[in-house]
A and B are shown apart, each in its own frame.
Chain A
């Protein structure tokens, strides 16, 4: 159905994608390495609207 060369390509691609997802998970979920942007004025406006 799929030749051996293609199977290797898909295998490597899946591995790279997995690595990328694991690093992303580690960065955001474990390390929580991201900035939280807050515009206080906008925030207060949005709260007052609620």
Chain B
């Protein structure tokens, strides 16, 4: 060799790169445009997907793929721009790991997306162990042999790992993806099949555009044309993100609109730096392709949402009308029914107190039963009517400082006789403390009454214990019974309108499903909460009402 290496380097007249990537060694602005667009768009998509579902493994994996890809794009730009042979050797080496790593992550991603769970440990070892020879042999001559200066291209001479092994494992990974997708496709339902087609085509096209740059460049020696791969990668990355969006649910419009703004921004920025009209055409074409894809997805999504909103608005109007009709029907029926019950109640009462003269003992017995039945009917109608009024906000609560203990004791004295008749013990666990709350005495009585009544109805034997205690500025009322208990299934409907247990009618034929619902409405109007606990069917129930303690300056009852 007649000339020294340094002389050769000087003869090549390479430009010195600023910030690793800015130099005249990059022969066209298109290279910067394709790389910056791919870098920022991939990073942007990755971050959005991560933010929208940071707890989802599939989102985290797409984020990892996108960030790894962005690093690859950045390193690739360094190879185009940087004149330093040692940097070229180093970044070229690192890219030998990054490229198959993206393939490996795609295998992991597609498996998690389709199976909806993490892959097994064995499979993970299988996926990533293929990368091990690249990692271990990276600093050796098996990866890169030397730096070729012959044609001033700044290219390393590749060893066995770079020339064969990396491509081999990339083919294995691509085959793995296809084999897995086809296998799962055959076993899946039509809905899942659609998802598999979407995600597999997205991943495969993404990986194809990834290698297309090298293939096109190597075969045609036209490295401008090779940039098409980089342009299409963000499109397929967007497609992948869209697939997650489509089958997972988060706002596609926002991502679409932002991606569109970014791509348009890059188009303008790119044109500012391009001098040749041919390059403007190329940049324009690439951006147009991006806008068509993203714009189509965006318009489709917006159209779908508008359609859904219109349907929802129509349903809302229909529902409001139905509710109004139901309310007036409930009022009409309950008033009519209550009127009839009251009318017959006075007839039966008149028969019993002698208003209609002397009545035969047999008839008196029937009159007593009739009166009892009328009372049950009137109570039921009152329950439904009260619940409907509370729901509509028609009840005006007169909030006054009142002792919950007085209310509980009054209800207990009222329920003592019915409890004894049913053969049940009615116990109280209340000490001498005061239990002041701010509330409406009438409606609080109604709530406590409904709770105790409920326990009386659903307890065949044993006892009902009512207790009061103070806990953290709250008063806790507990009604505990040894009754039929609550199944987890029934628990969900317990405090809902008309919500009854599966077998409640078998025990209590008068069950309306409005008693506990009224309790809930009353307690919530008093800024409290109500809930029930039970160990299950036949194991008794505990009903809890928690109400805030009245502030010392509250207005006392009757004041």
Where the two chains meet, the residues of A that have a C-beta atom closer than 8 Å to any C-beta of B are 1-3, 5-6, 9, 13, 16-17, 20-21, 23-29, 32, 34-40, 42-43, 46-47, 50
CB neighbors of A among B137-178 (8 A): 138-139, 144-152, 156-157
Most buried by B among A2, A24, A50: A24
Q: Cβ of A20 and Cβ of B128 under 8 Å apart?
A: no
* Nearest CB in chain A to that of B97: its residue: A17
State whether A1 touches B55 (Cβ < 8 A).
yes
Q: Are A25 and B90 in contact (CB under 8 A)?
A: yes
Q: A9 — which chain B residues lie within 8 A by C-beta?
A: 121, 124-125, 128
Q: How large is the interface on B (under 10, 10 to 19, 20 to 34, 35 or more residues)?
A: 35 or more
> A21-B138, A32-B86, A43-B149 are known contacts. Are A2 and B121 too (CB-CB below 8 A)?
no
Instruction: Tell me which of B55, B94, B128, B157 contacts A24 (CB under 8 A).
Output: B94
A45 (CB) vs chain B CBs: closest residue: B151
30 contacts between A and B (CB under 8 A): A1-B55, A2-B118, A3-B118, A5-B121, A9-B124, A9-B125, A13-B128, A17-B97, A20-B139, A21-B94, A21-B138, A24-B90, A24-B139, A27-B139, A28-B90, A29-B86, A29-B90, A35-B145, A35-B146, A35-B147, A36-B146, A36-B147, A36-B148, A36-B149, A37-B146, A38-B1, A38-B150, A43-B8, A43-B150, A46-B151
Query: B347 contacts the other chain (Cβ, under 8 Å)?
Result: no
Could you tell me if B151 and A42 are in contact, using CB atoms closer than 8 angstroms?
Answer: yes
B93 close to chain A: CB less than 8 A: yes
Cα of A35 to Cα of B3 in the assembled complex, Å? 15
What CA separation (Å) do A26 and B90 show in the bound complex?
9
- B interface residue numbers (CB < 8 A to A): 1-3, 5, 8, 11, 55, 57, 60, 85-87, 89-90, 93-94, 97, 118, 121, 124-125, 128, 135-136, 138-139, 144-152, 156-157
Contacts A21-B138, A43-B150 given; does A34 touch B86 at CB 8 Å: yes
Q: With A and B bound together, what is the CA distance between A29 and B86 in angstroms?
A: 5
- B152 in contact with A46 (CB, 8 Å): yes
Question: B364 CB to closest chain A CB, in angstroms?
Answer: 74
For residue B13, which residue of chain A has the nearest CB? Answer: A50
Q: Report B25 CB to chain A, min CB distance, Å.
A: 13
CA distance A17 to B57 in the complex (A): 22
Residues on the A chain within 8 Å of B136, using CB:
16, 20
- Contact indicator B1/A37 (Cβ below 8 Å): no
**A32-B86, A36-B5, A36-B85 known; A6 and B150 CB under 8 Å?**
no
Closest-by-CB residue of A relative to B128 is A13
Q: Are B138 and A24 in contact (CB under 8 A)?
A: yes
- Closest beta carbon of chain A to B33's beta carbon, Å: 25
Docked Cα-Cα span, A13 to B151, in Å, equals: 38
Interface hub of A5, A28, A47 (most chain B Cβ within 10 A):
A28
**Bound: A40/B94 CA distance, A:** 29
Query: Within the complex, which residue of A6, A16, A29, A32 is in contact with B135, where a contact is CB–CB below 8 Å?
Result: A16
- A20-B139, A24-B139, A27-B139 are known contacts. Are A6 and B121 too (CB-CB below 8 A)? yes
Residue of chain B at shortest CB distance from A5: B121
Given A1-B57, A20-B135, A21-B94, A38-B5 contact (CB < 8 Å): yes
